[in-house]
Amino acid sequence: MNNLTVFRELDIQPVRDLPFFEEVMEGDPHTLTSKYYHDEQQGRICGEWEASVGAWRIDYKVWEFCHVLSGRCVIELEGRPAVILAAGDTFVIEPGAKGKWTVLEDMKKNFVILLPAS
């Protein structure tokens, strides 16, 4: 078992447009995802994610920690006021979160996802 994973030492090939959009609502957004760590048994994934301008419907099935590195977005969850997030912001979005994610300026974030227990 490797108890330390240093991301800069990995040779990760980013994946373009992983199929996670429920429904594109505005524009023609594209993503680039680099999974630096993926442990199916423990249900953990982390890495870096980039997205271009656009908006899509969200319906979260996972718990996700995010730290915005650059750009800006708006997350509008059903029944809650819209939240603008920008470089330096850190947030958690939980299973059951539904609404709309809009990228206002091309953005990049680090993420940690905890998958539901099977």
Domain boundaries, the chain: 44-118
Q: Does residue 1 have a pLDDT over 60?
A: no
Query: What is the bridge-based pairing of β-strands 63-77 and 44-51?
Result: unpaired
Mean pLDDT of 71-75: 98
pTM score, two decimals?
Answer: 0.89
- Return the SS3 of 9: helix
Tally Cβ neighbours within 10 Å of residue 58: 19
| Burial call 93-118: b when 16+ CB within 10 Å, e when fewer | beeebebbbbbeeebebbbebbbeee
Q: Does residue 15 have a pLDDT over 80?
A: yes
Mean pLDDT of 80-89: 97
Q: What homologous superfamily does CATH list for 44-118? A: Jelly Rolls (2.60.120.10)
